[in-house]
Amino acid sequence: MFAFIISRLLQAIPVLLVVGFISYAMFAFVGDPVSIMLGQDFTEAQRVQLVHQLGLDQPFFVQYAHYMWATLHGEFGISYRLARPVSDLILERLPATIELALTAAVLALLIGVPMGVYTGIRRNGVLARAFMIFSLVGVSLPTFLIGILLILVFAVVLGWLPSFGRGDVVHFSHWSTGFLTISGLRSLVLPAITLGMFQMTLIMRLVRSEMMEVLRSDYVKFARARGLSERVINFGHALKNTLVPVITIVGLQIGGLLGFSIVTETVFQWPGMGLLLVQSIGVADIPVMSAYLMLIALVFVGINLIVDLLYYAVDPRLRVDRRALTGAR
């Protein structure tokens, strides 16, 4: 198991190098940091000195190596827009995005999986049909529209929930959490639903179709012929067999949540990474953008690792290789 994790981490290195290259190339070729930092009035000597300071007079690959080395140490440079270290900005914004994405993911799983199981078993029930129609709405409406509709109904018309911001947060050294205050939790509801809606309906439809497939399988028929109870068959035999594809998609989707969070954070003025990115793109704040790119790549690598570990936990057929490798039986 340990060897497996190590090998997976080693495989991630080229991925991160390539992403680092892209984000560095963005750094080097998009926009002109020198002119941005110098402003309007400068002498040629000042310009040459800044170019030297930034290392821009060195060969491309030396610059790339420097960039990766700095990145490895968590140094992403200075934001052009805010004139503060990018790493500080990200550390400030990260908790908001992580809490939002986590809540949305948990919501999507806790509601999506049971609804998928239910609609897969009771294919023709009235409630199952209602769920399916609802899921169609969730899959087809764009995220920003869901957000705006929710704001309109629950914030503007009913006035039940706040329409923007994160509410009050509690600080623990670097981390700020909205989970511990009433206003923080109330502020989380609409953005989390908005962000999780697509994933939830996707998970539901996926679980449903996998369930229907598995319930037709020979081993489920055989389980019935052995006289096992419906509960054991549905949840022990059928649901477990839907898990491998579901884990795959959910893993990808949780990565996708971060992407969608850009839209959601913009709609709800949620002070997270997505909003930071949108604000940075507006003024071509390249250091922030490239740091964001690296971070997302890291998140995807992490999620892939977790997905692989979950495969191992669920499906014994995937453990064969490991046994062969270690000679264990």
Partner 1 sequence: MALLEVDRLTVEFPTRRGILRALDAVSFDIEVGEVLGVVGESGAGKSLTGAAIIGLLEPPGRIAGGQVRLDGMRIDNLSRDRMRPIRGRQIGAIFQDPLTTLNPLYAVGHQLVETMQAHLRLSDRDARERAVRWLEEVGIPAARQRIDAYPHEFSGGMRQRVVIALALCAEPRLVIADEPTTALDVSIQAQIITLLKRLAKDHGTSVMLVTHDMGVIAETADRVAVMYAGRICEIGPVRAVVKQPAHPYTEGLMGSIPSLEQRVERLRQIDGAMPRLNAIPRGCAFNPRCPKVFGRCRAERPELLAAGDTRAACWLYDAYSGGRASDV
Q: How far is the CB of 308 from partner 1 (least distance, A)?
A: 17
CA distance 83 to 110: 42
Q: How far is the CB of 227 from partner 1 (least distance, A)?
A: 3
Alpha-carbon distances of 110 from 76, 171, 224, rounded to whole Å: 37, 28, 28
Site string for partner 1, 287-316 (x = CB under 8 A): ---------------------------xxx
For partner 1, the binding residue among 160, 175, 179, 222 (CB under 8 A) is 222
Q: How far is the CB of 321 from partner 1 (least distance, A)?
A: 12
Stretch that binds partner 1, among 60-68, 106-114, 215-223, 287-295 (CB under 8 A): 215-223
Q: How far is the CB of 297 from partner 1 (least distance, A)?
A: 33
Contact of 105 with 257, CB cutoff 8 Å: yes
153 binds partner 1 per the rule CB under 8 A: no
Contacts of 319 (CB under 8 A, 6+ apart): 312
Amino acid at 22: I
> To the nearest 10°, the Cα dihedral for 101, 103, 106, 112?
-90
CA distance 272 to 92: 8
Site string for partner 1, 238-277 (x = CB under 8 A): --xx------------------------------------
Amino acid at 254: I
For partner 1, the binding residue among 83, 182, 320, 328 (CB under 8 A) is 320
Q: Cβ closer to partner 1: 83 or 225?
A: 225
CA distance 316 to 311: 9
For partner 1, the binding residue among 35, 140, 229, 326 (CB under 8 A) is 229
10 binds partner 1 per the rule CB under 8 A: no
317 binds partner 1 per the rule CB under 8 A: yes
Q: Tell me the DSSP string of 199-253.
A: HHHHHHHHHHHHHHHHHTSHHHHHHHHTT--HHIIIIIIIIHHHHHHHHHHHHHH
217 binds partner 1 per the rule CB under 8 A: yes
235 binds partner 1 per the rule CB under 8 A: no
For partner 1, the binding residue among 39, 230, 282, 327 (CB under 8 A) is 230
CA distance 107 to 204: 12
Please name which of 203, 247, 240 lies closest in space to residue 219, comparing C-alpha atoms: 240
Q: Cβ closer to partner 1: 293 or 310?
A: 310
Contact of 271 with 166, CB cutoff 8 Å: yes
Pull the structure tokens for residue 273: 């990474």
Q: Which residues bind partner 1 (CB under 8 A)?
A: 217-219, 221-230, 232, 236-237, 240-241, 314-317, 320
